[in-house]
Amino acid sequence: MKKFVVLCTIVGLLLAACSRGPYTATNKFYKKQAKSYSKILATYPLNDSGTTFVGTVNFTMRAPNFVIIHHTAQGSCEQTLKTFTTPVSKVSSHYVICKSGEVYQMLNDMLRAHHAGVSRWGTTTDINSCSIGIEIDNNGREPFTEAQINSLLQLLDRLKKKYNIPTTNFLGHADVAPGRKVDPNRYFPWQKLAEHGFGYWYDTTNVEVKEGFDALMALRTIGYNIANPRSAIQSYKIHFNPQDTTTVLTETDAKIITSLLERYK
């Protein structure tokens, strides 16, 4: 009888665990964390600056101004969801797009995800604080699925309209972290994105490269961190000239960069 009771208890616990789903605990954590931030936002009067408080009537939430695209470099969407719900990984992104085109949202757009790490674009340094991170399920060596790109385009369209994100500010992780990151990989269809208004593409028809044109300095004007020139060139090539795996700027690159400069500066 005792054994039967123990068995029933174990089965009961297992059933309860199964019915709660794998993310019940992390969803609960998210809710608690979000609630603690909302308490900070609602604090009245503000008393942490030693000043006199007079509440203004004109304010809104700070909204994201960049979108950073990544590939997960993991084996499956499930694996990525697990990584982003495990505290020790310390990483996350706002959205994860699976090979099927299914999109997971992991936190509010207004909150700061940990996806870009040490990064820079132009004079903007804390990219995590002003961007939306989108991770696309991809092992890093394969093309992206049509379903993924379709879902991505729909998501970008919504984000661009909702937050009025400039066309120039749709970038890859490699763009903002040269030498440290190479995602999204060289199969990523940046030209197609540009055709839909997310980032720019070049047109070298009738482009004349000016005498003494400094392509590396032009990359800096566009936004690349050129502290390490070879790394900056690698990041630029991954995005705009993916067939070329060298880190040398050629005549073709000078034409591409001249064209890009017009659009990005």
Q: Contact between 183 and Zn ion (CB under 5 A)?
A: yes
Q: Is 94 in the site for Zn ion (CB under 5 A)?
A: no
- b/e map of 16-38 (b: 16 or more CB within 10 Å)? eeeeeeeeeebeeebeeeeeeee
Spatial separation of the C-alpha atoms in residues 23 and 33, rounded to whole Å: 15
- Nearest approach in angstroms of CB 133 to Zn ion is 8
98-to-42, 92, 157, 231 alpha-carbon distances in Å: 36, 15, 18, 29
The minimum distance between CB 232 and Zn ion, in angstroms, equals: 17
- For Zn ion, which is the closer residue by CB, 149 or 177? 177
What residues numbered 44-73 form the site for Zn ion, per CB under 5 A?
70
Q: Which is nearer to Zn ion, 7 or 118 (CB)?
A: 118
For Zn ion, which stretch binds (CB under 5 A), given 5-13, 19-27, 151-159, 165-173?
A: 165-173
Q: How far is the CB of 115 from Zn ion (least distance, A)?
A: 6
Q: Which of 173, 237, 239, 255 binds Zn ion (CB under 5 A)?
A: 173
Q: Which is nearer to Zn ion, 218 or 238 (CB)?
A: 238
- Assess whether 135 carries a catalytic annotation: yes
Write down the catalytic residue from 135, 142, 146, 211. 135
The least distance separating Zn ion from the CB of residue 183, rounded to whole angstroms, comes to: 4
Minimum CB distance to Zn ion smaller for 185 or for 241:
185
Write down the least CB distance from residue 173 to Zn ion, Å. Answer: 3
Closer residue to Zn ion, CB minimum distance, 148 or 258 = 148
Stretch that binds Zn ion, among 29-37, 38-46, 183-191, 244-252 (CB under 5 A): 183-191
Please identify every residue annotated as catalytic.
135
Residue ranges that bind Zn ion, judged by CB under 5 A? 70, 173, 183
